[in-house]
Chains A and B, each alone.
Chain A
Amino acid sequence: TQLLEQSPQFLSIQEGENLTVYCNSSSVFSSLQWYRQEPGEGPVLLVTVVTGGEVKKLKRLTFQFGDARKDSSLHITAAQPGDTGLYLCAGVRLQGAQKLVFGQGTRLTINP
């Protein structure tokens, strides 16, 4: 059972376009994290959103946590080839050994 559903799983767009990646769950999380992973490397944390309705901006990337703390979105403005990579959302749980529950990822390709 996939607790976190990411969509789309694959996205290929042209440089300069905008895009949004969604991360949805029926479960409530204490916070939610977004990671980016490049080939041959481990995931790197981009942001943690903690409060329902919270919006965080990281240059051209905007992250939003749903009011009910069950979903999140990542919006990229004016995408660049350097944004290419695998984007993973992860729900943070306070209880249990599995602290992070990962979505299956969105593989993003930005074409020059």
Chain B
Amino acid sequence: GAGVSQSPSNKVTEKGKDVELRCDPISGHTALYWYRQSLGQGLEFLIYFQGNSAPDKSGLPSDRFSAERTGGSVSTLTIQRTQQEDSAVYLCASSLELAGVETQYFGPGTRLLVL
């Protein structure tokens, strides 16, 4: 596809259940980012992948959050034992560096509601 895609677009789950969010980056983009955005707020950085490696996982809110990337392409963000405070929009971005300036291209997000 031409842009970053994410699935599902919306997810409603019950407290305590696990959820898996998927991100398909733009083809050829080696860097991939996950962010969390609470209602109408700025973006909270979660994790960054360069290729399949995540050099820094310190942005993940708790050990219930994990992420992986395979084949340098698709990434999944998994939230185990979801809590109501996990409700937010989860955004994925892939990036390309041109002339020393990195530009991130965002997907439409997955809206997660934990009941």
Q: Which residues of A contact B (CB under 8 A)?
A: 6, 31, 40-45, 48, 50, 86, 88, 90, 92, 96-105, 107
Q: Which residues of B contact A (CB under 8 A)?
A: 4, 31, 33, 35, 40-45, 47-48, 54-56, 58-59, 91, 93, 95, 101-109
- A100 and B101 contact, Cβ closer than 8 Å, known pairs A42-B109, A43-B43, A107-B40: no
- A97 and B40 contact, Cβ closer than 8 Å, known pairs A42-B93, A42-B107: no
Q: Determine the distance from Cα of A16 to Cα of B77 in the docked complex, in whole angstroms.
A: 43
Whether B42 contacts A97 by the Cβ 8 Å rule is no
- A42 and B103 contact, Cβ closer than 8 Å, known pairs A104-B42, A105-B42: no
Q: Nearest-CB distance from B7 to chain A (Å)?
A: 14
Whether A100 contacts B45 by the Cβ 8 Å rule is yes
Q: Nearest-CB distance from A104 to chain B (Å)?
A: 4
Contact of B55 among A31, A97, A102 (CB under 8 A): A97
